[in-house]
Amino acid sequence: MTKIRVHEYAKQVNRTSKEVIEELGKINVNVTNHMAMLDKDATSKLNQRFGKGDSKTANQSSNTQSKPVPSRPAVSQDKPNQTNRPAQSQQRSGQGAQQGGNRPAQGQQRPGQGAQQGGNRPAQGQQRPGQGAQQGGNRPAQGQQRPSQGAQQGGNRPAQGQQRPGQGAQQGANRPAQGQQRPGQGAQQGANRPAQGQQRPGQGAQQGANRPAQGQQRPGQGAQQGANRPAQGQQRPGQGGPGGNRPAGRGGRPPARGINQGRRRHRPAPMPKVEMPLPEKITFYESLTVGELGKKLGREPSEIIKKLFMLGVMATINQELDKDAIELICADYGVEVEEEIRIDVTDLEIYFEEPEEVQGVPTERPPVVTIMGHVDHGKTTLLDSIRDTKVTQGEAGGITQHIGAYQIEVEGKQITFLDTPGHAAFTTMRARGAKVTDITILVVAADDGVMPQTIEAINHAKAAEVPIIVAVNKMDKPSANPDRVMQELTEHGLLSEAWGGDTIFVPISALTRDGIDQLLEMVLLVSEVAELKASKDIRAKGTVIEAQLDRGRGSVATLLVQDGTLRVGDPIVVGNTFGKVRAMINDIGRRVKEAGPSTPVEITGLNGVPQAGDRFVVFEDEKKARQIAESRAGDALVEQRGENTRVTLDNLFDQMKQGEMKELNLIVKADVQGTVEAMAASLMKIEVEGVNVKIIHTGAGAINESDISLAAASNAIVIGFNVRPDVNAKRAAEAEGVDIRLHKVIYKVIEEIESAMKGMLDPEFEEKVIGQAEVRETFKVSKIGTIAGSYVTEGKLTRAASVRVIRDNIVIFEGELDTLKRFKDDVKEVAKGYECGITIKNFNDIQEGDIFEGFIMQEIKRT
Ligand SMILES: Nc1nc2c(ncn2[C@@H]2O[C@H](COP(=O)(O)OP(=O)(O)OP(=O)(O)O)[C@@H](O)[C@H]2O)c(=O)[nH]1
């Protein structure tokens, strides 16, 4: 040995570097730090002072020190780290001279590590400065740590020597790493390390190079590591014993480092998962993504994804979950789910569907009555008679104002009549979604009986589900035959009470005003049964009866207040218009300040002209009214530009799919009644699964405007057999987008409707086997999988077909063909008698003798 560093020497003599430096001072060898080199002279002087012979002696003494067992408890008690030492010493002693000879070198670290380790050390040396640079003032500490590395390495060596002599250095390098990492890194990391050590024995040199760093970490492991060390001692009991160098090396370690390292150790340690408490209930609107649901539940999205996977749903974090999926997941967590329903404030309809508590206290309201019937049967006369008798009677001057509706009083009770005879207004309003009428008076002239428009009126009322009171008119005429009327109406589902039915028939004369009181009484009776209610103390809402632009007054609209009370000055949205109610005039031309339920009033003050059937709603302030109306106007414009949503035979299928509409409404018109009946009967016989034909109206004669308005209101298709629409009907059909189908041959009519109805159904498929092939040979090709050399035995196999793999008559797989080749070429199909190469998507377990059955799914025509 020529030169040795202070700290290395200190280690050999079991002293601290400080002690050695002090001693050197005494012999006038001035060294500044523990890294200073000692020449031979200084070393021998020191040897004398420390009573040390030579390195060999030191080593031997170390060996002999290791022998006494009693020192062990002291070491393990004081410094758990040193539990390795004794074992090393014991093992070492059994390793023979050569190993024993290495020992001191290990203690000194570098020289003793052999060629390989020696080679590593410089690497350590190289690393250290770097670490030094990083750690700055830690340098000395490194110096102090080295001995411990030496001890550590030394400690490992013997074991290596015994186990795999060739891998000594490597394993030695690995072992400490295991020991060091385990404590701080938890069981998992500790578990990995040994595996690495085993897997990469050749990395010893590299790991050896890392050793210093490991050595540096050790001291910092503090209590935790200390606690672990004994465990090592237990694992390797032979390693117990005193480590002479250890105490010095360890003792010198700066505690600060231990703290730091202790912190560092904690960082990678996985924090124990603290699960957030689940909420009792979550709410959502329409849908939630997996991530959003996770957030609401306080759970990781991965957990939700896992749950979905268990439910058979493959989802990503951004996947939208529908109500069902959300409910399923939440049910799994035991969390209640509530779907938020956001109200579109611009949809006036919602104000008509408010829950009862919002609607105020409901009280009885007057019925709204519409008079319908065939031409010239006396509708206008009846309306006038009622008004004249009941309105003008009490009014001085008898000036009445026609505003589209009027109110009368009978027995202290009000009745509101819509003043538009015929069902035009009725259907117009219904077509716009407004239900205004509570009761229909069907006027049938007793001398004329049931006529086409009578039937139309019945069908209109039925479609709107409005009760009908039959007024058998013109009873004053000698030719009046009420029985005939009753008889004919039974054919249309109206059976008089006198004949055991539930339809009220009242014989009247609109001209002479006979029976009108009874008729009105009946109206009140039906109204009572219907329990018509509304509340006066809420903001008004209702429907537009008519509206027009008046030169002097601007937009004038007759509104029927259906609920609440309308007041002058109310901010109002009417259809797509808005304004403040400027003036209100009632049905007798008087200015009023307010109007309650079922009251018709004419208002001014709107910014535009609404349409009959439009809804109106009063809002809390004009700003909101303006906002809503403007938004509605914008929407209406967009809708107008959009497609016509009226049902036609062409869009029937789409419409039904969208709206899940499974009923086809038809209006049948033909040249003669007999044909009408025949056609209606044939159409009714059309049976298509899932779709019903509903004939809402039939009639002989040209297709008229009323047919179109009924079709528009009921979303029906008009079928004309040997008849044409009149001019008005044509215009109305165009305006309303009603589909009119004209035919001359009955079976064509049936055929057309039938095919349209079949089109509206989802197509049904059935399987068709197209061929079979037998696997004659299989080839396994990496990246491709198993190629089946096959022979088509029946039919053909096509590239697009699905395929079943049959083995011993059992279907073992069903899937799709991946490739179909003839020699090296991809082909679309291979016919019977030809060979081909087949691979199947996601299936490689193909064996010789397997049968491939090709099949396709083909649409079946409905019968
Ligand atoms: N004798 C008699 N004639 C009546 C009666 N009611 C109406 N009329 C007459 O029948 C004709 C038609 O009456 P309207 O009230 O116009 O019949 P409508 O149903 O309103 O007719 P349109 O408006 O064309 O649909 C008129 O000449 C009336 O005078 C009645 O009770 N008795």
Burial class from Cβ neighbours inside 10 Å (0-12, 13-18, 19+) for residue 835 reads middle
Confidence at residue 792, expressed as pLDDT on a 0 to 100 scale? 94
CA dihedral (458, 459, 461, 462) in degrees, to 10, reads 110
Higher pLDDT, 794 or 178: 794
Angle, in degrees to the nearest 10, between helices 516-530 and 379-390? 90
Higher pLDDT, 354 or 604: 604
Query: What percent of the chain clears pLDDT 90, i.e. is strictly above it?
Result: 18
Nearest to 786 by CA among 778, 774, 794: 778
Q: How distant, in Å, are the alpha carbons of 64, 96, 195, 381 from that of 69? A: 11, 20, 33, 130
Tokens of 76: 């393990």
Judged against a pLDDT cut of 80, whether residue 51 lies above it is answered with no
Higher pLDDT, 98 or 283: 283
CA distance 683 to 301: 55
Residue 342 — very low, low, confident or very high, per pLDDT cuts 50/70/90?
A: low
Nearest CA owner, ligand 1 atom 6: 378
Nearest CA owner, ligand 1 atom 32: 474
**Contact yes or no for 3/37 (Cβ under 8 A):** yes
**376 CB less than 6 Å from ligand 1?**
yes
Judged against a pLDDT cut of 80, whether residue 725 lies above it is answered with yes
Nearest CA owner, ligand 1 atom 12: 376
Query: What percent of the chain clears pLDDT 70, i.e. is strictly above it?
Result: 65
**380 CB less than 6 Å from ligand 1?**
yes
Q: How far is the CA of 363 from the centre of ligand 1 (A)?
A: 37
Alpha carbon 94 to its chain's center:
71
Nearest to 699 by CA among 665, 730, 674, 734: 674
Q: How far is the CA of 380 from the centre of ligand 1 (A)?
A: 7
Return the ligand 1 atom nearest residue 453 CA: 25
**381 CB less than 6 Å from ligand 1?**
yes
Question: Going by DSSP bridges, is the β-strand pair 785-798/764-781 parallel, antiparallel, or unpaired?
Answer: antiparallel
Q: How far is the CA of 226 from the centre of ligand 1 (A)?
A: 114
Which 8-state DSSP code applies to residue 348? Answer: G
Q: What residues form DSSP beta bridges with 860?
A: 764
Higher pLDDT, 25 or 234: 25
- The residues near 557 (Cβ < 8 Å, ≥ 6 apart) are 544, 546, 547, 574, 602, 603, 606, 609, 610, 616
Judged against a pLDDT cut of 50, whether residue 387 lies above it is answered with yes
Q: Residue 157, Cβ neighbours under 10 Å: how many? A: 27
Q: How far is the CA of 165 from the centre of ligand 1 (A)?
A: 125
Q: How distant, in Å, are the alpha carbons of 370, 408, 518 from that of 508? A: 17, 18, 9
Nearest CA owner, ligand 1 atom 9: 378
Q: What are the tens digits of pLDDT across the range 177-232?
A: 333 444 334 333 333 343 333 434 334 334 433 343 343 444 334 334 333 343 34
Residue 91, helix vs strand vs coil: helix
**477 CB less than 6 Å from ligand 1?**
yes
- The secondary element (H helix, E strand) that includes residue 4 is strand 4-5
- The secondary element (H helix, E strand) that includes residue 811 is strand 810-822
Q: How far is the CA of 182 from the centre of ligand 1 (A)?
A: 106
Read off φ and ψ for residue 650, nearest 5 degrees. -75, -40
Q: What residues form DSSP beta bridges with 802?
A: 816, 855
CA distance 105 to 102: 5
**Contact yes or no for 515/507 (Cβ under 8 A):** yes
DSSP for 373-404 reads: ESTTSSHHHHHHHHHHHHTGGGSGGG----SS
CA dihedral (662, 668, 674, 675) in degrees, to 10, reads -90
Residue 662 — very low, low, confident or very high, per pLDDT cuts 50/70/90?
A: low
Q: How far is the CA of 378 from the centre of ligand 1 (A)?
A: 3
Residue 699, helix vs strand vs coil: strand
Nearest CA owner, ligand 1 atom 2: 474
Alpha carbon 571 to its chain's center:
40
Binding site members for GTP: 373-380, 419-423, 473-476
Q: How many CA atoms lie within 13 A of 564 on its CB side?
A: 21
**806 CB less than 6 Å from ligand 1?**
no
Q: Enumerate long-range contacts of 188-197, CB under 8 Å, 24 or more apart.
A: 189/268, 197/170, 197/171
Q: How far is the CA of 696 from the centre of ligand 1 (A)?
A: 27
What is the ipTM score, two decimals? 0.98
**Contact yes or no for 70/40 (Cβ under 8 A):** no
Judged against a pLDDT cut of 60, whether residue 661 lies above it is answered with no
Nearest CA owner, ligand 1 atom 7: 378
Residue 749 — very low, low, confident or very high, per pLDDT cuts 50/70/90?
A: confident
Read off φ and ψ for residue 367, nearest 5 degrees. -75, 155
Q: How distant, in Å, are the alpha carbons of 550, 571, 601, 639 from that of 620? A: 28, 7, 20, 27
The mean pLDDT of 800-827, rounded to a whole number, is: 88
Pocket residue to mutate for ligand 1, from 370, 374, 375, 380, most atoms within 8 A of Cβ: 380
Confidence at residue 345, expressed as pLDDT on a 0 to 100 scale? 64
Question: Going by DSSP bridges, is the β-strand pair 541-550/336-339 parallel, antiparallel, or unpaired?
Answer: unpaired
Return the ligand 1 atom nearest residue 373 CA: 19
Q: What are the tens digits of pLDDT across the range 400-410?
A: 556 778 888 88
**Contact yes or no for 665/714 (Cβ under 8 A):** yes
Q: How far is the CA of 473 from the centre of ligand 1 (A)?
A: 9
Q: How far is the CA of 214 from the centre of ligand 1 (A)?
A: 113
**Contact yes or no for 844/854 (Cβ under 8 A):** no
The mean pLDDT of 698-708, rounded to a whole number, is: 86
**377 CB less than 6 Å from ligand 1?**
yes
DSSP for 420-474 reads: --SSHHHHHHHHTT----SEEEEEEETTT---HHHHHHHHHHHHTT--EEEEEE-
Q: How far is the CA of 394 from the centre of ligand 1 (A)?
A: 25
Q: What are the tens digits of pLDDT across the range 767-777?
A: 888 999 999 99
Q: How far is the CA of 468 from the centre of ligand 1 (A)?
A: 20
Higher pLDDT, 674 or 845: 845
Q: How far is the CA of 610 from the centre of ligand 1 (A)?
A: 32
CA angle 72/255/121 to nearest 5° reads 75
Angle, in degrees to the nearest 10, between helices 96-108 and 84-93? 150
Confidence at residue 338, expressed as pLDDT on a 0 to 100 scale? 85
Confidence at residue 656, expressed as pLDDT on a 0 to 100 scale? 58
Confidence at residue 565, expressed as pLDDT on a 0 to 100 scale? 92
Confidence at residue 190, expressed as pLDDT on a 0 to 100 scale? 36
Higher pLDDT, 680 or 66: 680
Burial class from Cβ neighbours inside 10 Å (0-12, 13-18, 19+) for residue 862 reads middle
CA distance 652 to 665: 11
**407 CB less than 6 Å from ligand 1?**
no
Q: What is the mean pLDDT of the chain?
A: 72
Amino acid at 31: V
- The residues near 553 (Cβ < 8 Å, ≥ 6 apart) are 604
**Contact yes or no for 512/576 (Cβ under 8 A):** no
**421 CB less than 6 Å from ligand 1?**
yes
Nearest CA owner, ligand 1 atom 30: 474
Binding site members: 373-380, 419-423, 473-476
Burial class from Cβ neighbours inside 10 Å (0-12, 13-18, 19+) for residue 542 reads buried
Nearest to 374 by CA among 459, 454, 471, 488: 454
Q: How far is the CA of 440 from the centre of ligand 1 (A)?
A: 18
Which of 4-18, 694-708, 830-844 has the least mean pLDDT?
4-18
Judged against a pLDDT cut of 80, whether residue 757 lies above it is answered with no
**622 CB less than 6 Å from ligand 1?**
no
Confidence at residue 391, expressed as pLDDT on a 0 to 100 scale? 56
**Contact yes or no for 337/297 (Cβ under 8 A):** no
Q: What are the tens digits of pLDDT across the range 310-334?
A: 877 778 888 888 888 888 888 888 8
Return the ligand 1 atom nearest residue 377 CA: 19
Please tell me the pTM assigned to this model.
0.45
**476 CB less than 6 Å from ligand 1?**
yes
Return the ligand 1 atom nearest residue 383 CA: 15
Burial class from Cβ neighbours inside 10 Å (0-12, 13-18, 19+) for residue 591 reads exposed
CA distance 436 to 457: 16
**Residue corresponding to tokens 């007759």:** 558
- The residues near 658 (Cβ < 8 Å, ≥ 6 apart) are none
**516 CB less than 6 Å from ligand 1?**
no
Angle, in degrees to the nearest 10, between helices 139-163 and 114-135? 150
Nearest CA owner, ligand 1 atom 21: 376
**Residue corresponding to tokens 């159904």:** 761
Q: How far is the CA of 463 from the centre of ligand 1 (A)?
A: 26
Pocket residue to mutate for ligand 1, from 370, 381, 475, most atoms within 8 A of Cβ: 381
**511 CB less than 6 Å from ligand 1?**
yes
Pocket residue to mutate for ligand 1, from 370, 372, 376, most atoms within 8 A of Cβ: 376
Return the ligand 1 atom nearest residue 512 CA: 31
**473 CB less than 6 Å from ligand 1?**
yes
Nearest to 509 by CA among 667, 377, 393: 377
Amino acid at 556: V
Higher pLDDT, 758 or 660: 758
**379 CB less than 6 Å from ligand 1?**
yes
**509 CB less than 6 Å from ligand 1?**
yes
**128 CB less than 6 Å from ligand 1?**
no
Nearest to 556 by CA among 371, 404, 393, 775: 404
The mean pLDDT of 611-624, rounded to a whole number, is: 86
Nearest CA owner, ligand 1 atom 11: 376
Question: Going by DSSP bridges, is the β-strand pair 785-798/829-831 parallel, antiparallel, or unpaired?
Answer: antiparallel
Q: How far is the CA of 218 from the centre of ligand 1 (A)?
A: 114
Q: How far is the CA of 574 from the centre of ligand 1 (A)?
A: 35
Return the ligand 1 atom nearest residue 477 CA: 1
Q: How far is the CA of 460 from the centre of ligand 1 (A)?
A: 21
Q: How distant, in Å, are the alpha carbons of 45, 295, 335, 619 from that of 276? A: 69, 11, 13, 44
Sign of CA dihedral 526, 529, 534, 535: positive
Q: What are the tens digits of pLDDT across the range 496-552?
A: 888 888 899 999 999 999 999 999 999 999 999 988 888 888 889 999 888 888 878
**510 CB less than 6 Å from ligand 1?**
yes
Nearest CA owner, ligand 1 atom 27: 376
Q: How distant, in Å, are the alpha carbons of 283, 563, 596 from that of 533? A: 35, 9, 12
